[in-house]
Structure 1
């Protein structure tokens, strides 16, 4: 009985851990048609403000304490600026100006930045298997998101028109997606500091509200036709994206980020395009190429290597017991 209980708890823990990335991926599918019928800043503010209110209502029901000091509010304000205004603003503007594939590659490369900052600020040990996993993950999402012809030309001709890429960079929105990726990475790091002064669930709710207000004001000031073209399906897509793609997913993600290993948690972001592609295939009849399927496989391998890096090192030590392991394999002990 006790063994079954532990298995059930482990299953629910795994589901909770993966849920933010599942919800982000499916929210991308739900939002696909909405971007053509609304404006970026309005969409960003709509994803944040109602979601923040929902998170705070849940926090109040659960009896979680509100920020009580000026220092706590300052940390929440900084969190709102970086992960609310900057991340959602850059993301929404970038989605309007770049292809979904290339944009997803850039935005989902943020685990690399999180790993670098975590190893520096929190002394998290990444080790050789962690770095190998991160490299494989970047390769995997590149195969998923980049156009097949780019990759084929690079493989066959060993050339890539970098001048064309840089010329298009500031016109097509890739740089905005890069800024969004870096903003999310910094926000993931910030929650460790924020949670020292504020409950992480409460901080998540307030940072959505405080981050959504400037985006809404900017939309009302500089955009038109924000909601006039939205039909029922569009509103349903926005509602799903707000409730599950923002409120639930960010509440769970930042709660986990305040407690666990940031490198391991952030690596699961590689799952987001996998879920997006899978459900895009199921509901939108989007077809995956062989290269994309290979990218999905590499992504899953990378997540395994990053999250099991300590166990892999220990198993290698046992296997090679009595012999001398190369020094770089010992860095994770």
Structure 2
């Protein structure tokens, strides 16, 4: 596969996630968080498994992977989607999105501890730049000024509300899910593992929805159902299929650092479809995010020549 095509496919999941969260959020008040979470996973899981079947591949998960698969399904499907929709229900796209986009740093720490992946000073610099860029993109300028000027204690106490706490937990669940796919697909096809984990993980969420709001379908318009279909088929089936396929094969730290691009794509689509414009601080955040992705993805190439020259 050409390098440019591979990079396009690697970036595509984060572009789809940046728009899928925007599509999901307005559906939660009328459909309920559990229904939205289950509908994001159930059709996506069916679509992925149908594609696997049509392509002539086996739908079987190796018995040696079943234990890790169960844990992967519980953490990445049930827990992640549940806390994500609860976070979207209680917070906006500002600080909440910043917290969930902190997961590349969590993945880097887990990959370092579990797989001994190298994170040299250039990589750590890139991760720091990515977090700084996401802060500039998602946190209101007034709040950043409060932080810089050491705001009064009551203002600081209000920073982490319930919604932001849910989003932080979602980031943690996503980070663990990114690592668990390596264990859950040691002897199995990672795309098959992804499809089954979405299908089976949606069932407890669907049960919670039935217990919470009954069996009546939500009063959604045709456009609302289109938004839900986009979030499920593109924002889950295609995005998660590509994401976990690459996560099972690529350098976890470098690949997950592309997650810093998610708010960039969210803001870009907001500009195209909603006429939103970026503030100067947000443009600076875009620059930091792009620089961070360059540093993390090229950290070995940028650092090793310096080491050889020093020797």
TM-score class normalised by the smaller sequence: over 0.9
Aligned to 2:281: 291
Counterpart of 1:191 (choices 153, 172, 181) is 181
Deviation, structure 1 residue 226:
7.3
Cα displacement string for residues 35-93 of structure 1 (whole angstroms, at most 9, x for unaligned residues): 34321111000000000000111111223333355443322221110000000000001
Aligned to 1:241: 231
Give the distance between the partners of 1:46 and 1:78, measured in 2 at CA. 21
Q: SS at the partner of 1:37?
A: helix
Counterpart of 2:211 (choices 205, 221, 227) is 221
Cα displacement string for residues 174-212 of structure 1 (whole angstroms, at most 9, x for unaligned residues): 111111100000000001111113210000001001110
8 Å CA contact 2:61, 2:189 repeated in 1: no
Deviation, structure 1 residue 160:
3.2
Give the distance between the partners of 2:234 and 2:151, measured in 1 at CA. 39
Give the distance between the partners of 1:226 and 1:310, measured in 2 at CA. 55
TM-score (norm 2): 0.94
Uncovered stretches (5+) of structure 1, i.e. residues with no partner: 1-7, 326-333
8 Å CA contact 2:61, 2:192 repeated in 1: no
8 Å CA contact 1:140, 1:298 repeated in 2: yes
Give the distance between the partners of 1:201 and 1:292, measured in 2 at CA. 35
Aligned to 1:331: none
Aligned to 1:115: 108
Uncovered stretches (5+) of structure 2, i.e. residues with no partner: none
Could you list the structure 1 runs, at least 4 aligned residues long, displaced by more than 6 angstroms after superposition. Answer: none
Give the distance between the partners of 2:84 and 2:200, measured in 1 at CA. 17
8 Å CA contact 1:257, 1:265 repeated in 2: yes
Moved more, 10-19 or 262-271: 10-19
Aligned to 2:260: 270
Change (3 A) 1:30 1:57: same
Equivalent positions of 1:129-140 (< 5 A) are 129-140=122-133
Say yes or no: does 1:309 pair with 2:299.
yes
8 Å CA contact 1:38, 1:226 repeated in 2: no
Moved more, 45-54 or 27-36: 27-36
Change (3 A) 1:67 1:32: same
Q: SS at the partner of 2:303?
A: helix
Change (3 A) 1:268 1:161: farther
Change (3 A) 1:84 1:15: same
Equivalent positions of 1:2-81 (< 5 A) are 9-81=2-74
Deviation, structure 1 residue 278:
0.4
Aligned to 1:178: 168
8 Å CA contact 1:55, 1:251 repeated in 2: yes
Q: SS at the partner of 1:100?
A: coil
Deviation, structure 1 residue 287:
2.4
8 Å CA contact 1:137, 1:302 repeated in 2: yes
Aligned to 1:159: 150
Say yes or no: does 1:211 pair with 2:201.
yes
8 Å CA contact 1:77, 1:210 repeated in 2: no
8 Å CA contact 2:96, 2:167 repeated in 1: yes
Q: SS at the partner of 1:311?
A: helix
**Count of aligned pairs:** 311
Give the distance between the partners of 2:234 and 2:171, measured in 1 at CA. 20
Larger gyration radius, structure 1 or structure 2: 1
Give the distance between the partners of 1:161 and 1:32, measured in 2 at CA. 32
